């Protein structure tokens, strides 16, 4: 597994960004996530792995309260962002989502121009005062998402006309345009070919310098390649959470070992 490394394993900081304690999620009567305790570090890529239906996406969606939009979903326990409880009634989920951006499994650009896709977040949050500032935000976001060179001449053409990999980078640009502190990625490469996947992975590593990135992935190789820390979920339990190198070379739980060697999942 060691030869798959493309990134430094070193964690730059030990500062907690997000702390989850005793998080339980119910869909109706069904318990989907059982007592999860996780600390997500700042400026770190954290990967969630596990078989389908293990609760990793559910937990990810707790971090920006996307689960609020599902009527039957109930979240218990506490999740704090920089020490503040994000499920506190005084916290507005809309403001939270500007701080905790999200990239989805399937590229989902708005059926609008590339420019409008990226500018939408800053516009609705009033982050810019005039057109020039907005132009600048759009440019830096597209640059950070490594899409500027391909898109700068066609900013007014529809975002849906881009290729799959470009669309996903556009979605990343859209997510980082609001200057979030955490970027949640829900299987961002599952709909992409290997070349586009490699581009996104490189990008994730670059984004680590500014954001805390949490990525859900089905590909253990991807988790090993891009993350510093990995959490393994199984049947709604957080089985193991440790440094990625340790997880893949010397897992402490037999279930983790079974999963990464392909015996369960």
Binding of residue 87 to other proteins (CB under 8 A): no
Nearer to other proteins, 105 or 258 (CB): 105
Per-residue binding string, other proteins, 66-85, x by CB under 8 A, is x--x-x--------------
Output phi, psi for 160, to 5 deg.
-75, -10
Nearer to other proteins, 40 or 220 (CB): 40
Binding of residue 112 to other proteins (CB under 8 A): yes
Total number of residues that touch other proteins (CB under 8 A)? 30
Binder of other proteins out of 4, 6, 84, 94 (CB under 8 A): 94
Nearer to other proteins, 207 or 239 (CB): 207
Q: Which one of the spans 5-13, 77-85, 107-115, 254-262 is the region binding other proteins (CB under 8 A)?
A: 107-115
Residue among 123, 125, 105 at smallest CA distance from 115: 123
Binding of residue 110 to other proteins (CB under 8 A): yes
Binding of residue 27 to other proteins (CB under 8 A): no
Binding of residue 178 to other proteins (CB under 8 A): yes
* Cβ pair 215, 227 in contact under 8 A: yes
Binding of residue 97 to other proteins (CB under 8 A): yes
Chain residues in the site for other proteins (CB under 8 A): 64, 66, 69, 71, 94-98, 101-104, 106, 108-112, 120-121, 124-125, 158, 160, 171, 174-175, 177-178
């Amino acid at each position: 597994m060691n030869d798959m490394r493309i990134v430094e394993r070193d964690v730059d900081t030990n500062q907690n960004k997000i702390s989850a304690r005793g998080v339980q999620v119910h869909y109706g009567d069904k318990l989907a996530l059982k007592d999860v305790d996780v600390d997500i570090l700042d400026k770190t890529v954290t990967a969630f792995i596990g078989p389908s239906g293990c609760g990793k996406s559910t937990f990810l969606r707790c971090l920006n309260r996307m689960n609020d939009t599902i009527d039957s979903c109930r979240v218990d326990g506490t999740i704090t962002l920089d020490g503040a409880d994000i499920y506190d009634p005084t916290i507005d989920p809309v403001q939270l989502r500007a701080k905790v951006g999200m990239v989805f499994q399937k590229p989902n650009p708005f059926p609008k121009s590339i420019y409008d896709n990226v500018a939408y977040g800053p516009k609705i949050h009033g982050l810019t005062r005039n057109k020039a500032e907005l132009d600048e935000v759009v440019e830096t976001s597209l640059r950070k998402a490594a899409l500027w060179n391909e898109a700068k001449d066609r900013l007014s053409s529809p975002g849906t006309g881009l290729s799959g990999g470009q669309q996903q980078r556009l979605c990343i640009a859209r997510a980082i345009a609001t200057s979030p502190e955490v970027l949640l990625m829900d299987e961002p490469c599952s709909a992409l070919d290997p070349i586009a996947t490699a581009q996104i992975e490189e990008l994730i590593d670059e984004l680590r310098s500014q954001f805390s990135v949490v990525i859900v992935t089905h590909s253990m190789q991807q988790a090993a390649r891009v993350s510093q820390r990995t959490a393994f979920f199984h049947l709604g339990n957080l089985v193991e959470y440790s440094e990625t190198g340790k997880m893949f070379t010397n897992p402490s739980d037999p279930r983790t070992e079974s999963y990464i060697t392909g015996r369960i999942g």
